[in-house]
Structure 1
Amino acid sequence: MALFKIVHITKYQYNWPIKESINEIRLFPHNFENQDVLQYELLITNNPEVSFSTDYHGNRVGNFNTLDAHTEMTIESRMLVRVNHSLKIPDFEHSYIKDLASEKEKNINLLRLCYPETITKQETILDILNEIGCENKTIIEIAQQCNNYIFNHFTYTKGITNIETTVDEILDHKKGVCQDFAHVLLQLVRTAGIPARYVSGYICPNESGLRGEGATHAWVEIYTPNQGWLGLDPTNNIWTMDNHVKLAVGRNFIDCTPVKGTFKGLAKQTLSVCVSIGYEDGRHFEEINDVALEEVSSEVQEQLDYIELLHHQQEQQQQ
């Protein structure tokens, strides 16, 4: 069992004022049998009214608008969470894929979570499963060996992928970060017939030196008949532990995006994320990451360059 005080700060900055910013956030930690949310606080620049709802996957969702012109927006999420993953132990699960048949018939969501994405390199996925050999193996064995394959054949490398990177691209260069490995694992286990979902959250640092620690993290949960959802972390080739804190679940990253939105205005935006984690014993960890955003189109870039030129000319005239 572990207790964490987590502060997650998302900061958007714009090089020119924008307005009518409309946003959707999934920054609310799950209350479930392995995790208790003891305290939670949400702070947003200019204190807009936030409306709350629950999405199809059971995540709490917040929506808010900022209508006035602004060049910066900060969303700060503060939480105190207690985690106990030892309540579920994968070694106790000895079920097979055929044992899922009746549950898939009763639960349409489980059936949907069995469908892999449509990709061009599905043959590569089938080749990996053939190499692993899924026949006569339990759900746990198949999932664990898929997890192991990703860990041993893919290289953890920051900066070469972004939220738009596809499974096909990841299979090509065999490099990426936690969300990339989670998407590949989803493709593998779903193709094998195991219901699986993407999980967004945090992996809190300890002495183990796990990859991805201290920042927002991603992993996969597979469904088993006897224990329900069990978490697998392909980035570290482990089952989820007490330092995995869960925020949201869904079919993929898009369903779990912590913050997404749109705005009116012509401006370049930058995004930085700071995650601060405090422990019961007084230790503290903090990490700041600049997030790679999708490049603006050439047409928008030309307009931005023109605005910069006009602004520069006005400054020269005023001197």
Structure 2
Amino acid sequence: MAVFNIIHITRYKYNLPIKESINEIRLFPHNFENQDVLQYQLLISQNPNVSITKDYHGNRVGNFNTLEAHTEMTIESRMLVRVNHSLKIPEIDATTVADLDFQNDIYLLRLCYPETITKQDEINAILKEINHENKSIIDIAFDCSQYIYTHFTYTKGITNIETTIDEILGHRKGVCQDFAHVLLQLLRTAGIPSRYISGYICPNESGLRGEGATHAWVEIYTPKQGWLGIDPTNNIWTMDNHVKLSVGINFTDCTPVKGTFKGVSKQTLSVFVSIGYEDGRHFEEINDVELQKNSIEFQQQLVYAEQQQQ
């Protein structure tokens, strides 16, 4: 069991004023049987009203608008979370895909459907290589995770939030988000209900990959044990230092912050994560996030708008 004090700051900056910013956030940590949210605070620049609802996956979702002109927006999420993943360490479980029966559970059925990709033959070949047929769900999940850990290289800066599974399979490089998507494709092709998890992996003495920043992994469902987390980036079942934020079919369902605004402006995004421990240790990391490239038409509008400011 472990307790973490986590601060997550998302900061957008705009070189020209923008207005009518409409945003959706998924920054609220889950309460689960193995994760308790002891304290939570949300701070947003200009203090807008935040409407909180739940989405299809059970995530708490916040929506807010900032109508007046501004050149910066900061969203600060503060949480004190207690985690006890030892409650969810996989037990000996011989359940196979053939034993599954989800005909009356639309949600689990949806989580068995792989994406339509060009390189599906490569996914099928990987499953054949690990000899997945007749293995238990637990064994298939770990073998798929181990394959990714062994055959894919953890490399920052190669991919972004729009990188497809086909592209990841092409260069076999990426980060936690990419490995989670490949693992989901493998598991769903094998017929195992699986979902994407967004959260944090808190640093420890083991030197896990992806520590200190937002992280991604996968959960599989077994009738006997429910949802079990597996982290292909580190080839481990989730531990006490995995803190869960949101769940979904893929990253799109779990995007921490997304929105739109009126105006022509160049925007930059930085994400700061601070993790504090009970024993006084402290870890901080800041990342500049690569945003979607603008169209040529938008670039032309931006140049014109900047010239008008001179």
Q: Same fold (TM over 0.5)?
A: yes
Task: State how far apart, in whole Å, the 1-side matches of 2:158 and 2:256 are.
Answer: 21
1:152 aligned partner, one-letter code = T
How far is the alpha carbon of 1:287 from its aligned partner? 0.3
Q: Which has the larger radius of gyration?
A: 1
Deviations along 1:174-222, whole A, 9 cap, x unmatched? 0000000000000000000000000000000011100000000000000
Task: State how far apart, in whole Å, the 2-side matches of 1:88 and 1:111 are.
Answer: 23
Matches within 5 A, 1:82-231: 82-101=82-101, 104-231=102-229
Percent of paired sites with the same residue: 77
How far is the alpha carbon of 1:172 from its aligned partner? 0.4
How far is the alpha carbon of 1:92 from its aligned partner? 2.8
2:29 aligned partner, one-letter code = P
Check if 1:23 corresponds to 2:23: yes
Q: Segments of 4+ in structure 1 off by > 6 A?
A: none
Alpha-carbon RMSD across the aligned residues, in angstroms, is 0.8
1:285 aligned partner, one-letter code = F
1:40 aligned partner, one-letter code = Y
Task: State how far apart, in whole Å, the 1-side matches of 2:141 and 2:204 are.
Answer: 25
* Greater share of helix: 1
Task: State how far apart, in whole Å, the 2-side matches of 1:88 and 1:100 are.
Answer: 20
Provide the residue aligned with 2:62 in structure 1.
62
Task: State how far apart, in whole Å, the 1-side matches of 2:250 and 2:13 are.
Answer: 27
Deviations along 1:22-68, whole A, 9 cap, x unmatched? 00000000001110000000000010000010000000000000000
**5+ residue gaps in structure 1?**
313-319
Matches within 5 A, 1:242-261: 242-261=240-259
Name which of 290, 294, 297 aligns with 2:295: 297
1:289 aligned partner, one-letter code = N
Task: State how far apart, in whole Å, the 2-side matches of 1:233 and 1:86 are.
Answer: 15
Task: State how far apart, in whole Å, the 2-side matches of 1:240 and 1:184 are.
Answer: 18
How far is the alpha carbon of 1:311 from its aligned partner? 3.0
Task: State how far apart, in whole Å, the 2-side matches of 1:259 and 1:51 are.
Answer: 14
How far is the alpha carbon of 1:90 from its aligned partner? 1.2
Task: State how far apart, in whole Å, the 1-side matches of 2:264 and 2:307 are.
Answer: 14
The residue matched to 1:47 in structure 2 has which SS? coil
Task: State how far apart, in whole Å, the 2-side matches of 1:11 and 1:67 are.
Answer: 17
| Cα contact 1:99–1:225 (8 A) shared by 2 | no
Provide the residue aligned with 1:12 in structure 2.
12
Give the total of aligned pairs: 310
| Cα contact 2:264–2:305 (8 A) shared by 1 | no
